[in-house]
Structure 1
Amino acid sequence: MLGYAAMNRTLREHDPPRRCNRDMRKKTWQRDGIERAAELTEQNFEDLYAILQWNLDHGIYLYRCSSTLVPWNSQFELRELPNYERIASLAESCGDLIEANGMRLTFHPSHWCKLASESTDTVERSVESVEHHGRWLDLLGLPRSPRYGINVHIGAHYGDKAATADRFCKVVDNLPPRARARLVVENDDKESLWSVSELVEEVADEVQIPVTFDYHHHSFSAREHSYREAFALARETWGDVRPVTHYSEPARLHGDFDARPQEHAEHVAAVPAWLRAESDVMIESHGKEESLLRIQT
């Protein structure tokens, strides 16, 4: 199956707009507090259902949900929301739709989520973030499995990769089941950072979490492995769960020669047939669902 991330452009232009990433600034939180957070959360879950139904109607079974599904969740417990019962009911409907139709829903916490940071404060906030994502998946009623992954990067090496990997593994081992059972880790898009082979050897083999193979990122951190070789290494870490992979094409390949090498193109030309045959592929492009529909057949 093919999927896309976060925003559905078609539904974003709907009247009223359908989107599940409503958030608020700190000033708004300080002024309006949990009441406003509750209102936005309810709207986000309502529209998540609409997006999932649209996806189903268009033969799309993989979707990455926004990490602002529950705004400012760090400041309250879900059950403290004044409309919690309504939100829980909406979440249950979303989860039922997903499971009844063999769909997959995943999350990708923000770039600042660094579980291996040398900063205690950063680690605490990062752990809190992945725990919240786990709570949302629990609220949806989805199994604690990497099939419904919470995808993270290590994202740095802090001058000592071995020590960084060790810190990451220790943090992962102490995560609650709602987060640990769903955590997956992705290769990076810089030569100095984390390759698929390094993640397999230093993380997956140690704490038994899957490695997400990012096709475009692999071009920056191949470590002499071909795309197929690196994918095969990552695939083995998923066990009985069909792996999710990420696919994008560089903007430069599509004529934007001023773009950074890492920047994604608006659309993709095609996904390698072997990658589609052996994994569920998340299309990462600015075109979102439009890109997917172009290559779906």
Structure 2
Amino acid sequence: MLGYAAMNRTLRDSDTPRRCNRDMRKSTWESKGLKYAGELAEQNFRDLLAILQWNYKHNINLYRCSSGLVPWNSQFDLNELPNYETIQEIAQQCGELIKSEDMRLTFHPDHWCKLASESEDTVRRSVRSVVCHGQWLDLMELDRSPRYAINVHIGAHYGNKEATADRFCEVINDLPPEAKSRIVVENDDKESLWSIQELVNQVSDRTGIPVTFDYHHHKFTDRGLTYREAFEMAVSTWGNHRPIAHYSETSRLHGDSDARPQDHSEYVSDLPDWLRKRADVIIESHQKEQSVLRYTPDKFV
């Protein structure tokens, strides 16, 4: 199956805009608190359901949801929200659709999520972030497994990769089950950071968590492995679960000579057949669902 991340541009630009990342500033949180957070979360879950329904209609069965689904959730427990029961009901509808139609829903916490940081405060906040993501998936009554992945990066090496891997593995092993059962780790797009080979040998072999193969990132951290060789290493970590992979292309391939090599293009033009056959693929491009529609015929015509 194919999918995309976060914004559905078609629905976002419709007469009734649909998006599931409504948030608020710190000052608004401090003035409006739980009631407003609950209102935004309810709107986000309602629109997540609408996005999932649109995806199903258009034969898109993989979706990476925004990490803004429940704003300021780090500051409260879900059941403290005044409208918790309403949110729970809508979340369960999302989960029922996902399960009945064999869809996949994933998350990708932002770059501030650094589970291997040398700062105890940063680690604490990062742990809270992945736990919140796990609780949202629990609210949808989705299995605690990598099928519904919480995808993270190690994000740095802090001058000592071995020590960083040790810290990361220690934090992963201590996570509560709603997070640990779903965590997967992805290769990076900077030469000095984490390759597929390093993640398999230094993280997955020690913790059992799967490794997400990012096709575009591999060119920056190949360590002498071909795309197929690195992909096979990543696949070996997924056990009985179908792997998730990411595919994108640099804007430079599409005429933007001023772009960084890491920058994503508007669309993609060369999705490898072997990748699509062996993995569920999230296409990362600026045109979001429009890129996926080029490869996926509608269910209903």
TM-score class normalised by the smaller sequence: over 0.9
Q: How does 1:143-162 map to 2 (within 5 A)?
A: 143-162=143-162
Cα offsets for 1:226-257 (capped at 9, x unmatched): 00000000000000000000000000111001
Q: TM-score, normalised by structure 2?
A: 0.98
Residue 226 of structure 2 corresponds to which residue in structure 1? 226
Secondary structure, in 3 states, of the residue corresponding to 1:189? coil
Residue 22 of structure 1 corresponds to which residue in structure 2? 22
Could you list the runs of 5+ residues in structure 2 that have no partner in the other structure?
A: none
Cα offsets for 1:238-295 (capped at 9, x unmatched): 0000000000000011100100110000110031000000000000000000011122
Secondary structure, in 3 states, of the residue corresponding to 2:106? strand
Q: How does 1:127-138 map to 2 (within 5 A)?
A: 127-138=127-138
Shift of 1:216: 0.2
Distance 2:75 2:241 in 1: 34
Residue 3 of structure 1 corresponds to which residue in structure 2? 3
Residue 276 of structure 2 corresponds to which residue in structure 1? 276
Residue 184 of structure 1 corresponds to which residue in structure 2? 184
Residue 196 of structure 1 corresponds to which residue in structure 2? 196
Aligned length: 297
Partner amino acid, structure 2, of 1:101:
E
Residue 39 of structure 2 corresponds to which residue in structure 1? 39
User: Contact 1:269/1:295 (CA < 8 Å) preserved in 2?
Assistant: no
Secondary structure, in 3 states, of the residue corresponding to 2:294? helix
Partner amino acid, structure 1, of 2:153:
H
Secondary structure, in 3 states, of the residue corresponding to 1:295? coil
Distance 1:48 1:196 in 2: 32
Distance 2:116 2:85 in 1: 36
Distance 2:272 2:156 in 1: 29
Partner amino acid, structure 2, of 1:33:
G
Secondary structure, in 3 states, of the residue corresponding to 2:270? coil
Distance 1:96 1:295 in 2: 26
Residue 75 of structure 1 corresponds to which residue in structure 2? 75
Higher RCO structure (Cα 8 Å, ≥6 apart): 2
Shift of 1:175: 0.0
Could you list the runs of 5+ residues in structure 1 that have no partner in the other structure?
A: none
Residue 173 of structure 1 corresponds to which residue in structure 2? 173
Poorly superposed stretches of 4+, deviation over 6 Å = none
Root-mean-square deviation (CA, aligned residues, Å) is: 0.6
Residue 54 of structure 2 corresponds to which residue in structure 1? 54
User: Contact 2:188/2:218 (CA < 8 Å) preserved in 1?
Assistant: yes
Distance 1:234 1:240 in 2: 13
Shift of 1:16: 1.7
Secondary structure, in 3 states, of the residue corresponding to 2:167? helix
